[in-house]
Structure 1
Amino acid sequence: MRETLRASWNHRHRLGQTREDAERGVFNPHHSTLPLVLHGPLDVAALNRAWHAVQRRHPALLSGFDTDLALWHVGAAEPQDVRRLPAGADEEADRAAVRAAVIEPFDLVHGPVARLVVLPRSPRETYFALVTEHLVSDGWSLNALIRDLAVLYGRETGAAVPPLPPIELPFQEFVRRQNRAVDAPAGRAALARLAARLDGIGAIPAMPVEGFSGATGIRYEENEDFVRRLPGELCRELAAAASPLRMTGLNLMHAALHQALYERSGRPVVATTLSTANRELPGLTHTAGWFASKTVLASEPGRYPDPVEYLRHFRDRILVTLDDSDLPWPALIDLMDPPALGRQATVPYVTFNARPLGMRRSVGEIEIPGVRTAPLRISNGWHDASIATFWDEDEDGVTVNVMFKTDWYTAPDVLALWDAVEARLHRWAEELRP
């Protein structure tokens, strides 16, 4: 059933950025993507029936948008078939074909805004990618979608699978509630209090560090990245040091980033954006939607030379920041810097985006009946931050991906920042050893 409602704050900000990019002739595939290698026989016809059922179960995947009026049309499109790609000459060609299908734009006006891609490489190996436009899905949502797809595929192939749980709070109802909450006097007052706390920092906190070019009119699509690995032994030492402070190892990593930003900028107040899942409501457990948001976390490293005192200060800043995490970040931008709403950031801000081990464990293994799964590495899109950091925790350590804008920074500039982060972490692991 089709229904129309006012777009969310996240929708409005992202749709504006998409229009701005289009005016420059570029496209950012702002997609949530789960690419996998499937080992074992795959019944593509059964998968297609299951995929149709997933789209009907989550009508947000069939959305279209009126970008001029900021309206969201849920269930505007018909379910689409699985896209089957032909195998190429070699593995490199097959990966390139899957990536091209992953980054292809969606029709935001008419929908749908999700696709399922398979490329059978042999009777027992298939490249697979579940792709959704971020407007209707985030990283956590992919977990719900792949679980549903696996169960429905199992039904189609006669496997013994559990029943699907009900979707208690649909994404569109969450958006209605959030819009009403922001419009209400209490919501406007909460935004005003948050803006007052961030006075002088900003909703999009400028955080230039040594080497910043100051260039204007930068090309956001011009970026590079690098990957670093924090080994398990170091991460366990950091977790042990964090525990007496009622913090986590990832909290210490974020604090180390703040310390490095302080060292490389000289600014007394350091601020980053912190990504939040925004899924505290139990009814959202099985719902696909864009719930993730950002908050601004500020600290003052120079005031606390003692590491324990600084980390206690940082913990307090985290708690204060998370108290306001239900307020949509674009609504704060609209209040503090209205021209920035729906635009790419013109100030060099820095992000901290973490995927804690608890999230990985809550998902569990991806179990598609009859096949084994393995990750398929496919790059996808770019971030509007000047330096975006992604911290992925697993049982053996933390993998860190750092993406940066090359019009603003050279690789040695950002590598120097990373070196400062890593040095701080090793120092704290030694100094704070229980």
Structure 2
Amino acid sequence: MRESLKASWNHRHRLGQTREDAERGVFNPHHSNLPLTLHGPLDLDALDRAWHAMQRRHPVLLSAFDTDAGLWHVGAAEPQDVLRLPSGADAEADLAAVRGAVEEPFDLEHGPVARLVVLPRSAQETYFALVTEHLVSDGWSLNVLIRDLAALYGQEIGAPVPPLPPIQISFQEFVRRQNAEVASEGGRSALARLAARLDGIGAIPAMPVKGFSRATGIRYERNGEFVRRLPRQLCRDLAAAGRPLHLTGLNLMHAALHQALFRLSDRPAVATTLSTANRELPGLTHTAGWFASKTVLASEPGRYPAAPEYLRHFRERVLVTLDDSHLPWPALIDLMDPQAVGRQATVPYVTFNARPIAMRRSVGEIEIPGVRTSPLKVSVGWHDASIATFWDEDEDGVTVAVMHKTDWYAAADVLALWDTVETQLHQWAEELRP
């Protein structure tokens, strides 16, 4: 059933950015995607039926958007078939074909905004990618969707799978509640308090560090990237060091990023955006949608030269910041810098995006009946931050991916920032050893 409602704050901001990019002749595939290699026989007809059933279960996948009117139309499109790609000359060609299908733009005006891609390489191996427009799905939602698809596929092939639980709170209902809260007197007061706390910092916190080019008219799609690994022993030492201060290892990593920004920016107060899941409501457990948002975390390393004092200060700032994380970031931008809503950021801000091990464990292994899965490396799209950091925690350490705008920073400048972070982490692991 088609349902129309006012777009969310996240929707409005992202749709504006998409239109701005299109005017420059650029497309950023702002897609959430889960690429896998499936090992074992796959019934493609059964998968197609399961995919149709999942699109009906999650009608947000059949959405369309009216950017000019700021409207979101849920269930506007008909369910689509699985996209089956032919195998090419070799694995590299097949991977390129999958990447192309993942990157392909969605028709936002008419929908749908999701696709399921398969490329059978043999009777025992299939490249697979579940792709959604971020407007209706975030990283956590991909876990919901793949679990549902696996269960529906199991039903189609007669595997013993439990029935799917009901969806208690829809993404549409969440957006209605959020829009109403922001428009209410209490919501406006909360945003005003948050804006006052960030006075002088901003909703999009400018954080230029050594080497910043100050170039204007930068090409946001021009990115550099590198990946680093923090080993298990260092992560264990940091967890132990943070425990008496009621901080996790990831908290210390975020604090070390703040320290590095302080040292390389000569600013008394530093700030990053912090990604939040916004899934505190139990009724959202089985719901797919774009719940993730950002909030601004500021600290003052210069006021607290001793590590324990600074880290207690940082913890207090984390708690205060998370208290306001239910407020959509674009609503804060609209209050503090309305011209920036729906635009790519013109100031160099820095992000901290973490995937703690608790999230990994809550998801568990991906279990599609009759096949075994392994990761397939397909990464698309780019972040609008000048320096975006992604921290993925597992049992053996933390993998850190760092992206940066090459028009603003040379690779050596961003590597210097990382080296400062890593040096700080080793120092704290030694200095704060219990």
**What is the TM-score of this pair, normalised by structure 2?**
1.00
What's the offset of the Cα at 1:277?
A: 0.1
What's the offset of the Cα at 1:379?
A: 1.5
Q: Residue by residue, what CA displacement relative to the aligned partner does 1:137-168 show, whole Å, maximum 9, x if unpaired? A: 00000000000000000000000001101100
Provide the rounded CA distance (Å) in 2 between the counterparts of 1:189 and 1:300: 25
Q: Which residue of 2 aligns with 1:334?
A: 334
Report the 3-state secondary structure (helix = DSSP H, G, I; strand = E; otherwise coil) of the residue aligned with 2:430. helix
Provide the rounded CA distance (Å) in 1 between the counterparts of 2:236 and 2:124: 39
What's the offset of the Cα at 1:18?
A: 0.3
Q: Which residue of 2 aligns with 1:180?
A: 180
Q: Tell me if 1:304 matches 2:304.
A: yes
Counterpart mapping for 1:216-227 below 5 A: 216-227=216-227
Q: Which residue of 2 aligns with 1:367?
A: 367
Structure 1: runs of 5 or more not aligned: none
What's the offset of the Cα at 1:240?
A: 0.7
What's the offset of the Cα at 1:372?
A: 0.5
Q: Which residue of 2 aligns with 1:86?
A: 86
Counterpart mapping for 1:201-212 below 5 A: 201-212=201-212
Q: Residue by residue, what CA displacement relative to the aligned partner does 1:29-69 show, whole Å, maximum 9, x if unpaired? A: 00000000000000010000000011000000000000100
Report the 3-state secondary structure (helix = DSSP H, G, I; strand = E; otherwise coil) of the residue aligned with 1:398. strand
Provide the rounded CA distance (Å) in 2 between the counterparts of 1:231 and 1:34: 26
Provide the rounded CA distance (Å) in 2 between the counterparts of 1:373 and 1:235: 28
What's the offset of the Cα at 1:191?
A: 0.3
Q: Which residue of 2 aligns with 1:7?
A: 7
Provide the rounded CA distance (Å) in 2 between the counterparts of 1:330 and 1:122: 46
Q: Which residue of 1 aligns with 2:166?
A: 166
Provide the rounded CA distance (Å) in 2 between the counterparts of 1:309 and 1:380: 40
Q: Which residue of 2 aligns with 1:250?
A: 250
Provide the rounded CA distance (Å) in 2 between the counterparts of 1:25 and 1:244: 52
Provide the rounded CA distance (Å) in 1 between the counterparts of 2:75 and 2:40: 34
Q: Which residue of 1 aligns with 2:57?
A: 57
Provide the rounded CA distance (Å) in 2 between the counterparts of 1:39 and 1:424: 43
Q: Which residue of 2 aligns with 1:358?
A: 358
Provide the rounded CA distance (Å) in 2 between the counterparts of 1:30 and 1:245: 37
Report the 3-state secondary structure (helix = DSSP H, G, I; strand = E; otherwise coil) of the residue aligned with 1:312. helix
- Residue identity in the other structure for 1:240: A
Q: Which residue of 1 aligns with 2:260?
A: 260
- Residue identity in the other structure for 1:318: V
What's the offset of the Cα at 1:234?
A: 0.4
Report the 3-state secondary structure (helix = DSSP H, G, I; strand = E; otherwise coil) of the residue aligned with 1:105. coil
Report the 3-state secondary structure (helix = DSSP H, G, I; strand = E; otherwise coil) of the residue aligned with 2:333. helix
Provide the rounded CA distance (Å) in 1 between the counterparts of 2:319 and 2:106: 38
Counterpart mapping for 1:13-412 below 5 A: 13-412=13-412
- Residue identity in the other structure for 1:300: E
Provide the rounded CA distance (Å) in 1 between the counterparts of 2:419 and 2:154: 48
Size of the aligned set, in residue pairs, is: 434
Provide the rounded CA distance (Å) in 1 between the counterparts of 2:129 and 2:224: 24
Report the 3-state secondary structure (helix = DSSP H, G, I; strand = E; otherwise coil) of the residue aligned with 2:131. strand
Provide the rounded CA distance (Å) in 2 between the counterparts of 1:88 and 1:399: 32
- Residue identity in the other structure for 1:160: P
Report the 3-state secondary structure (helix = DSSP H, G, I; strand = E; otherwise coil) of the residue aligned with 2:427. helix
Structure 2: runs of 5 or more not aligned: none
- Residue identity in the other structure for 2:288: A
- Residue identity in the other structure for 2:354: A
- Residue identity in the other structure for 2:96: A
- Residue identity in the other structure for 1:38: L
> Percent identity over the alignment?
83
Q: Residue by residue, what CA displacement relative to the aligned partner does 1:171-214 show, whole Å, maximum 9, x if unpaired? A: 00100000000000000000000000000000000000000000
**What is the TM-score of this pair, normalised by structure 1?**
1.00
Report the 3-state secondary structure (helix = DSSP H, G, I; strand = E; otherwise coil) of the residue aligned with 1:37. strand
- Residue identity in the other structure for 2:60: A
Q: Residue by residue, what CA displacement relative to the aligned partner does 1:84-121 show, whole Å, maximum 9, x if unpaired? A: 00001011101100000001000000000000000011
Q: Tell me if 1:420 matches 2:420.
A: yes
* Structure 1 stretches of at least 4 aligned residues deviating more than 3 Å after TM superposition: none
Using the TM superposition, name which of 329-338 and 240-249 deviates more: 240-249
Provide the rounded CA distance (Å) in 2 between the counterparts of 1:393 and 1:298: 23
Provide the rounded CA distance (Å) in 1 between the counterparts of 2:76 and 2:203: 34
Q: Residue by residue, what CA displacement relative to the aligned partner does 1:189-244 show, whole Å, maximum 9, x if unpaired? A: 00000000000000000000000000011000000100000001100110111111
Provide the rounded CA distance (Å) in 2 between the counterparts of 1:166 and 1:74: 18
- Residue identity in the other structure for 2:397: G
Report the 3-state secondary structure (helix = DSSP H, G, I; strand = E; otherwise coil) of the residue aligned with 1:305. coil
